[in-house]
Amino acid sequence: MGASGKLELRSVHKQYAVGRNMLQVLSGVSLDVGPGHFLSIVGPSGCGKSTLLRLVVGLDVDYGGDILLDGNRIAGPSLARGIVFQDHRLLPWLTLEQNIGLSLENSDWSARAKADAIREQITLVRLSGFEKVYPHQLSGGMAQRAAIARALINKPDILLLDEPLGALDAITRIRLQEELLRIWSVEGTTMILVTHDVDEAIFLSNEIVVMSSNPGSISKRFTVALSSPRDRASSGFIELKRQILAELHLYQQKTEAVEDCVDMAALI
């Protein structure tokens, strides 16, 4: 179960070939995530957050630097690391329960235990009654919740969440945030959450990393020292939010400035 697995990123670089050019997407990303931590990553669109999660989950081993789990370089995917992709990625030809059950395809549980676990997860994300429904019959938020259930059912040590609550209404969102917190405290799962919502990041995490783009790198790291449960209206909360937003705006202005220069260069 949880509470094992120390994740270390040592100056991770990643580039993609785009046509003939190499596009530097991540540059010198170093990061430690202790067992049982809850880390959030915020940053502008295109700064490489999803790319970073792909590397950590083991889908892409073609990168520079090291990603170490308990000192060993990650060599491929493992059931100990779960991911909720940015798109829900439910298979359209499987019903909701079959999609969630896909995670248990290789477990040695009995059929009964699998069915129970699936039902439990479906209840957890409040999709009861939709077991036999195909993904195209779900709303965006329902599909996202199903994807979360699919990732949770394996009880991974490390769970990577790529904007999992993006398509949800405010109320469902807050409920699922609390649900994530509950799972985190009960299972001791290490959580790495990508989000655009600074409130969400502060509410959930011990630590917040702000990334900047071109190339993607870590611009600042915040420790959240607020006691839990966190009060979104407390002064500490608001002060931290102000600092993080300032950090985000800072580089946004910086990138805008760079783009202005590029525009100028194009004119000349």
Partner 1 sequence: MSDLSVAACLVDTKEPAGKPDAVRDGSFDIGSITRRFGSPVGLILPSLIFALWQTAASYQWVEPVFLPAPRKVLEAFWLMLTKQDLFFDFLASMSIVGQAFVYGSAAGIGLGTAAGLSRKFEQFLGMTVDTIRHIPGIAWLPLIVLWLGIGAPAKILVIAKSVFFPLFLNTLQGIRSVEKNYIELGQVLLLTRRQMVRKVILPSAMPNIMVSLRYSAGLSWALVVVAEGLSGLEGLGFLIFRAQGLLLTDQLLVCMIIIGIIGFSIDRQMYALQCRILRWQQGFKG
Ligand X SMILES: Nc1ncnc2c1ncn2[C@@H]1O[C@H](COP(=O)(O)OP(=O)(O)OP(=O)(O)O)[C@@H](O)[C@H]1O
Contacting ligand X within 11-40 (CB under 6 A)? 16, 18, 23, 25
Least distance (Å) from ligand X to the CB of residue 214?
A: 9
In the bound state with ligand X, the residue whose beta carbon lies nearer, of 16 and 109, is 16
**How crowded is residue 243: how many other Cβ atoms within 10 Å of its Cβ?**
15
Q: Which does 27 bind (CB under 5 to 8 A by kind): Mg ion, partner 1, ligand X, none?
A: none
- The contact pattern for Mg ion, residues 2-41, with x = CB under 5 A and - = no contact, is ----------------------------------------
Q: Choose which of 27, 40, 50, 206 interacts with Mg ion (CB under 5 A).
A: 50
Residue type present at position 70: D
The helix/strand/coil state of 137 is: helix
Does the footprint of ligand X cover residue 255 (CB under 6 A)? no
Q: Using CB under 5 A, which of 86, 95, 98, 154 touches Mg ion? A: 86
Half-sphere exposure of 162 (CA within 13 A, CB side): 21
The upper half-sphere exposure of residue 254, i.e. CA atoms within 13 Å in the direction of its Cβ, equals 13
* Number of residues that make up the chain: 268
- Residue number with CB closer to partner 1 (73 or 89): 89
Q: Which of 19, 20, 21, 45 binds ligand X (CB under 6 A)?
A: 45
Q: Which residues contact 62 (CB under 8 A, 6 or more apart)?
A: none
Q: Which does 235 bind (CB under 5 to 8 A by kind): Mg ion, partner 1, ligand X, none?
A: none
Is residue 48 at the binding interface for ligand X, with CB under 6 A as the rule?
Answer: yes
Q: C-alpha distances in angstroms, 253 versus 197, 208, 258?
A: 19, 20, 9
The Cα 137–Cα 118 span in angstroms is 19
Other CB atoms closer than 10 Å to residue 161's CB: what's the count? 24
| 3-state SS assignment for residue 30 | strand
Q: How far apart are CA 174 and CA 144, in angstroms?
A: 14
How far apart are alpha carbons 6 and 68 in whole angstroms? 8
Packing angle of the helix pair 140-152, 170-187 (nearest 10 deg): 0
> Which part of the chain contacts Mg ion (CB under 5 A), choosing from 20-28, 42-50, 72-80, 227-235?
42-50
Q: Which is nearer to ligand X, 51 or 99 (CB)?
A: 51
Of residues 62 and 265, the one with the C-beta less far from partner 1: 62
Q: Which is nearer to Mg ion, 163 or 187 (CB)?
A: 163
Answer with the entry of Mg ion, partner 1, ligand X, none that 18 interacts with (C-beta below 5 to 8 A by kind).
ligand X
Residue 197 touching Mg ion (CB under 5 A)? no
Number of residues binding to ligand X, judged by CB under 6 A: 12
Cis peptide, bond prior to residue 229, ω within 30 of zero: yes
For ligand X, the binding residues (CB under 6 A) are 16, 18, 23, 25, 45-51, 86
Residues lying near Mg ion in the complex (CB under 5 A): 50, 86
